Structure 1
Amino acid sequence: MPTEIEIHITPIFSTPLLVFTPAHHERINAELSQLILAREASVPSHRDTEVIGWSSPHDLSMMDWAGRPLRELFAPVIEVAKQVTTLSDRCRHAARRPEWEVVEVWANVQRNGGTNAAHSHPGSFWAGVYYVDVGEVCPTLGKGGELQIYDPRGCLPRMLAPYLQYSMTELHDAGTSISYSPAAGQCLLFPGWLFHAVNTYRGTAPRISVAFNLDPVLQQGSLSSAHADAIGGSRR
């Protein structure tokens, strides 16, 4: 007769995907939708080899023409980033929560056939996307437009043993990707190093999103001088 053994399973090396809906998102969406579609109609797309669709420059220029709704959007985004991040033990003030700032923000409009190739956001700790309008994203109708998120460990688990998978629910996606269907008003926050893409969109209504990158506000004394110099030298 088999001996009963108690097993404690602890998933490790987790990757955070934060999903939240800012207050007053209906008003934010209405304002941003009008401003972004007007911009799309009057200004050529920023050249981006990863994107099939319209995109504004990846800088802070969007704050000039869409500043009011963006400021309302980013207030809770900054607060969320602050609540889920602390300084590490290597800093002089370990466990202190750093302040955050938006260092890049850009709008995306995708119509029938639009897509985003797999990419990451180098140089930024937190990256995010806010969905102004998801168009006709519907998994059951095959309209596409889902956010595709890739296992940061790559395909290694599948390459070594494609006929096996872990029996723990948290590890079913090891070596694969996750397809996330967003809703209008949702904001997603994830590490800048996490590879992601947008599946080809097949809807007729425009799919509108705002992507952004966050970096910490480094206050004097919060990091060792050597570490601060290293960060300063690595910025793009």
Structure 2
Amino acid sequence: MSQLQLFPAFAVPMATANLEGAEQLNSQLKKRFFELEQAGFEETHTPTTRVNIFESNMDLFTLQDPSLQQLRLFCLSSIMSIVASTTRKSADEMRQLKLKNHAWFHITRKHGYIAYHNHPLASWSAVYYVDVGQPDPDYPESGQIRFFHPSSSNQMFMDAGNTSFSAPFHQGTLSFEPKPGQLLIFPSYLMHEVAPFMGQGERICVAMNCWFE
């Protein structure tokens, strides 16, 4: 009998990247975002249910602000890296790609959340965390971003033979606890939600959608 060879089929590529020295940049971004909130830099036509959240206009990365342009370079270069790592494109093909994007920020206050959704008309999406507020120890899932298995039938029948899978064979949901300075990249088709923020202060992040020509 030949040896069993186990492999992950239909895997979902995701990635994280941490910005070195993010504290100073995050402080600048937080100040700028509060200024933009006061100035009414707001998106008013969003199809996604969101509660107690300020959502900015989606052309954030077009603003010629040094802190925003530093963040833009970090985020979009990281997204280009995951494209290069997950496709068969040559270096020359990668150089010919033109990355297009929408980017916006969220300021989430107590009890704020975002309902189940994905990001149509984009191939890659990402979230960069500026501030995660002050956690409430009574609510360990506060403000977590929760991703859902792309196969709706993955829990069709559960018994002792297919529960408690080890990574990378996840079932159900996959949750991430936000950390300041961290970028989380995921395919835009992946359904996700943000759990209610139960802490003090504000949970501040920058979200983006990317597509390529």
Question: Normalised by the size of structure 1, how large is the TM-score?
Answer: 0.76
Q: Is the 8 A contact 1:82 1:100 kept in 2?
A: no
* Cα deviation, residue 117, structure 1: 0.8
* Alpha-carbon displacement from aligned partner over 1:58-103 (angstroms, at most 9, x marks no partner): x315532x732121112132222223324967x9x79832545352
* Cα deviation, residue 32, structure 1: 0.7
Whether 1:182 and 2:178 are equivalent positions in the alignment is yes
Residues in 1 aligned to 2:111 and 2:210: alpha-carbon distance in whole angstroms: 29
Q: Is the 8 A contact 1:107 1:209 kept in 2?
A: yes
Whether 1:129 and 2:127 are equivalent positions in the alignment is yes
Q: 1:143 to 1:135 in 2, by over 3 A?
A: farther
Q: Is the 8 A contact 1:116 1:198 kept in 2?
A: yes
Whether 1:43 and 2:40 are equivalent positions in the alignment is yes
How many correspondences in the alignment? 207
Q: 1:33 to 1:14 in 2, by over 3 A?
A: same
Partner residue of 2:190 out of 173, 181, 194: 194
Whether 1:25 and 2:30 are equivalent positions in the alignment is no
* Structure 1 partner of 2:149: 151
Whether 1:203 and 2:199 are equivalent positions in the alignment is yes
Higher RCO (C-alpha 8 Å, min separation 6): 2
Q: Which amino acid aligns with 1:55?
A: E
Q: CA RMSD in A?
A: 2.8
Question: Normalised by the size of structure 2, how large is the TM-score?
Answer: 0.84
SS in 1 for 2:75: helix
Q: 1:139 to 1:84 in 2, by over 3 A?
A: farther
Q: Is the 8 A contact 1:147 1:179 kept in 2?
A: yes
Q: Is the 8 A contact 1:17 1:189 kept in 2?
A: yes
* Alpha-carbon displacement from aligned partner over 1:105-163 (angstroms, at most 9, x marks no partner): 11101111100111111111111110000113467643610001111112x1212x033
Residues in 2 aligned to 1:32 and 1:202: alpha-carbon distance in whole angstroms: 22
Find the structure with the greater CA-based Rg.
Answer: 1
Q: Is the 8 A contact 1:81 1:100 kept in 2?
A: no
Q: Which amino acid aligns with 1:170?
A: A
* Structure 2 partner of 1:233: none
Q: Which amino acid aligns with 1:116?
A: I
Greater share of residues in strand? 2
Q: Is the 8 A contact 2:102 2:210 kept in 1?
A: yes
Q: 1:36 to 1:127 in 2, by over 3 A?
A: same
* Structure 2 partner of 1:224: none
Q: How does 1:1-236 map to 2 (within 5 A)?
A: 6-43=3-40, 45-47=42-44, 48=46, 49-52=48-51, 53-57=53-57, 59-61=58-60, 63-64=62-63, 67-86=65-84, 96-98=93-95, 99-137=97-135, 141-142=139-140, 144-154=142-152, 156-159=153-156, 161-164=157-160, 165-166=162-163, 168-170=165-167, 173-174=170-171, 176-216=172-212, 218=213
| Long gaps (5+) in structure 2 | none
Residues in 2 aligned to 1:68 and 1:31: alpha-carbon distance in whole angstroms: 9
| Long gaps (5+) in structure 1 | 219-236
Residues in 1 aligned to 2:122 and 2:26: alpha-carbon distance in whole angstroms: 25
* Cα deviation, residue 191, structure 1: 0.8
